[in-house]
Amino acid sequence: MNSLIVLIGKTILLFSRILNLGSGSTWPGHVALKLDADFIEHTLNKSRLKIILVTGTNGKTTTVKLLQSILEKAGKKIFVNFSGANLTNGVASSIIQKSDLKGKLNYEYAIFEIDENTLPLVIKQLKPDYLIALNLFRDQLDRYGEVNSIAKMWKSNYNKLYKTKYILNADDPQIAYLGSGILSKVYYFGLNDQKYQTHQVQHAADSVLCPSCGQRLDFKRVYFSHLGIWKCPKCGLSRPPLDIEKTKFYPLKGTYAVYDTLAAVLTAKIIGINENVIEHALTDFKPAFGRQEEVTLDGKKIQLFLSKNPTSFNESLKTISEQNPKNLLIVLNDRIPDGTDISWIWDVEFEMLTNKHIKLFLAGDRVYDLALRLKYSLKRNGKAYSVFENLNEAVKIAVSQTAPNHKLYILPTYSAMLEVRGILTGKKIS
Amino acid sequence: MNYTLALTIGWLYPELMSTYGDHGNVITLQKRCEWRNIKAKVIELNTNFSVRDLKKCDLLMMGGAQDTQQEAVSKDLNGKSSILNEMILNGIPGIYICGAYQFLGNYYKEADGNLIEGLKIFDLYTENTQVNARRLIGNLAFRTKDFGTIVGFENHGGRTYLGKNLKPLGFVMKGFGNNGKDGTEGAVFKNSIGTYSHGPILPKNPLLADALLKKALDKKYRTFIKLPKLDDYLEQKARLQVAKRLSIAI
């Protein structure tokens, strides 16, 4: 039965590629799960594969890529699920793609990127050997509901996994709390270095209340949003001791990428990968699709920073503004993968951009909402940005107005990132 | 800069009640004052705020949040709510969104029957009839008598029903509004406005933002103040973009 489903799935995959259907990455999985609801469990339990799940709001794709690079450098056979297609259908689809025609998987590790809201569903179907939880921020409330309800759902589900090793972010109170009172082995990553500290008041913070008793948490130090060194003044719950707080080399810029790197390195160490191998893998690292990815067009350097919610947007802006940017294109879409609610742009600190000498180009389905947000972030009531209704034109002009020795930074939401990449590589992705 | 007029804007619980970009409302009120040379001071009224600070405010804004946060706010307001009630009855203008709007009502009845007491300032109640009932989510447009068509975004589980003498803020053109049934959206009581509209509501609805500012100034200076017109070209374009999404004319 199983191998038949794999075969059917592979056929669908082939057809959707030939016909160039955009949804090819999740369709075969969708069909496989319709034919056998326990398809994932059936396939994976038959193999000797160790399963690593990576979940959280921000940084999943980058963490998967980092860990994959390290494990591959150590000579392990790895398979990961398609970038972006991180729902159950996506997991099933990648199993179909990676199986041989007999429905067997010849790999040592599988790394799956799992959406925060799909996690309970996925762990019903497979018991991971390792579970990495990065953070929990507000993202796409229109689709997922609110952060607290996701955290509660996680907590009740995590308690059911006894053999899983947990790799948790100690600096995110709700994530750290997942590790309290469970029998499984728990490892924590976090930061102690004062240089990452921020003094900005961040209104978009999601969990300033104690995950155990509801009291307002005290923060000795904030790194960004609600991540930091925290303690509950009432029940005494506090940031757990760290198993890792730094590593020798960070391949990506920005504090959030430091967390992703620490999560990957800690996991690799638990698996037993040698320090030298880890360091080599990190220095050779190439970023994932749209995540600080660099492209060259007309001899000009362009760097993409996928920015999909207030936290990732603020962190991207902070990282970019440290590099003395001259040209910046922001693209805001409100399609299903982006989240149809764009109100979060008002929690982004655009003020850190508009009062510098940066050429700003704006585009996307909701370009006027973006323009309005920027208008309200200016010191005086003046025009300091160009608005484009057409994305092709925006990219063309932004590239042409970038001086040869400068870089064009692009901050797109998810579907905008795919569109921009399509334009830059000359192949439009629909 | 010489200011002749000044306003104090009170932002209730920015740390706890600021889940959906409602910060944008405060920015809008502040900037639309600045652009007219009106001095605008924002006081952030967080947990343990003093009643003295609340009383200084000429205009109030409170946003939406998650349930846990609302419980913490409820605890903190206990004992201070009578002052808020008095200010609202006295006509201090304000805008209360989503969770804050529900909170001003009589009660919120959860799906499991649990009753959360409200501040009983607005004669309305909110209920969530079923466990896992569909949340009312999406772009929203509604027609009002005094502020034209309002565009925004709603995201709420609770269904709100207004008492007989409480006027709705408007009537739904696209979206759900108060309960998805009776066509009403929001409520108006004295100079206070309750609504489910995030978006945030004020940047794209400058008529409403200016009406709140004017009410606050008129009340403070006991006269009728004419606000100079501002260039709202981008506001209009952003409104039209939402209208196009909803296939309506505004």
Mean pLDDT calculated for residue range A144-155: 65
Confidence band for A83, pLDDT divided at 50, 70 and 90: very low
Contact indicator for B208, B150 with CB cutoff of 8 Å:
yes
The closest CB to that of B72, out of A206, A209, A340, belongs to A209
CATH C-level class of A2-283: alpha beta
Rounded to 10 degrees, what is the CA torsion of A339, A341, A342, A344?
-100
Reported ipTM: the value is 0.94
pLDDT value of residue A207 = 58
Question: Strands B115-117 and B107-109: what pairing?
Answer: antiparallel
Backbone angles phi, psi at B17, to 5 degrees: -110, 70
Enter the tokens of residue A55: 């979940």
What angle (nearest 5°) sits at the alpha carbon of residue B200, between those of residues B197 and B201? Answer: 55
Q: pLDDT at residue A143 above 50? A: no
Residue indicated by tokens 């992705």:
A429
Catalytic residues of B: 98, 198
Chain B residue with minimum CA distance to A366: B241
pLDDT of residue A63: 96
pLDDT at A144 over 50: no
Backbone phi, psi, residue B8, to 5°: -110, 120
pLDDT at res. A91: 75
Element (H, E) at A218: strand A218-224
pLDDT band for position A201 (cuts 50, 70, 90): very low
For residue B79, what are the contacts with CB-CB under 8 A and spacing of at least 6?
none
Q: Which chain A residue has its CA at the smallest distance from B230's CA? A: A381
DSSP B132-188: TPPPEEEEEEEE-SSS-EEEEEEEES-EEEE-TTPBPSEEEEES-TTTSSS-EE-EE
What burial letters (b/e) apply to A69-90, b meaning 16+ CB within 10 Å?
Answer: bbbebbeeebbbbbbbbbbbbb
Would you put residue A131 in left (φ > 0), alpha (ψ -120 to 50) or beta? Answer: beta
In chain B, what are the domain boundaries? Answer: 5-245
Compute CA distances A207 → A403, B100, B217, whole Å.
Answer: 42, 19, 36
B28 in contact with A, Cβ within 8 Å: yes
A218, A346, A379: which to substitute to probe chain B, counting the most B Cβ within 10 Å?
A346
Task: Summarize the confidence of residues A221-241 as an average pLDDT.
Answer: 92
- Residue B185 in contact with residue B178, Cβ under 8 Å? yes
| CB-closest option in A216, A343, A365 to B199 | A343
Question: What is the number of other CB atoms lying within 10 angstroms of the CB of residue A292?
Answer: 20
Tell whether A148 lies on the interface with B, counting CB pairs under 8 A.
yes
In whole angstroms, how far apart are CA A203 and each of A59, A200, A206, A225, B155?
A: 21, 9, 9, 8, 19
Q: What's the confidence (pLDDT) of residue A384?
A: 75
The residue among B11, B121, B100 whose CA lies nearest residue B60 is B11
The per-residue pLDDT for range A238-282, each reduced to its tens digit, is 999 999 999 999 999 889 899 999 999 999 999 999 999 999 999
* Residue A374 clears pLDDT 80, i.e. is over it: yes
To the nearest whole Å, the CA of A219 is away from the closest chain B CA by 13
B66 — contact with chain A (CB < 8 Å)? yes
User: What is the per-residue pLDDT for A357?
Assistant: 80
Residue type, B108: Y
Q: Tell which CATH classification among 1.10.8.60, 3.40.50.300, 3.40.190.10, 3.90.190.20 matches the domain A291-424.
A: 3.90.190.20
Tokens of A61: 């794709």
- CB–CB contact B27 A346 (8 Å): yes
- Best probe of the A interface among B23, B45, B245, by most A CBs < 10 A, is B23
Which pLDDT does position B29 carry in this prediction? 98
* A344–chain B nearest CA distance, Å: 5
Interface size A-B, in CB pairs within 8 Å, comes to 102
A136 within 8 A of A174, measured Cβ to Cβ: yes
Nearest CA in chain A to B66: A146
Which has the closest alpha carbon to A135: A4, A280, A305, A255?
A255
Least Cα distance to A147 among B96, B19, B102, B16 occurs for B19
* A contacts of B72 (beta carbons < 8 Å): 209, 214, 216
Instruction: Flag whether residue A308 sits within 8 Å of chain B, measured between CB atoms.
Output: no
Chain B residues whose CB is inside 8 A of the A149 CB are 66
Task: Say how many CA atoms lie within 13 Å of B236 toward its Cβ.
Answer: 4
A218 burial level (CB within 10 Å; 0-12, 13-18, 19+): middle
* Predicted local confidence at residue A271, as pLDDT: 96
pTM: 0.79
Q: Flag residues of chain B having pLDDT under 50.
A: none
Q: Say if A2-283 and A291-424 have the same CATH topology.
A: no
A429 confidence band (pLDDT: 50, 70, 90): very low
Does the pLDDT at position A311 exceed 90? no
Among residues A314, A324, A313, A404, which one has the least CA distance to residue A358?
A324
Candidates B12, B20, B48, partner chain A, best to mutate (most A CBs within 10 A): B20
pLDDT recorded at residue B213: 98
Identity at A219, one-letter amino acid code? F
Q: How far is B128 from chain A (nearest CA, A)?
A: 15
CA dist., res. A289 & res. A287, Å (int): 7
* E strands in chain B: 5-12, 38-45, 59-62, 94-97, 107-109, 115-117, 124-127, 136-143, 149-156, 159-162, 170-174, 184-185, 187-189, 192-195
Name the token pair of A46.
């038959």
Q: Which residue has better confidence, A207 or A157? A: A157
- Domain B5-245, what architecture? 3-Layer(aba) Sandwich (3.40)
Mean pLDDT of chain A: 84
**Residue ranges per structural domain of chain A:** 2-283, 291-424
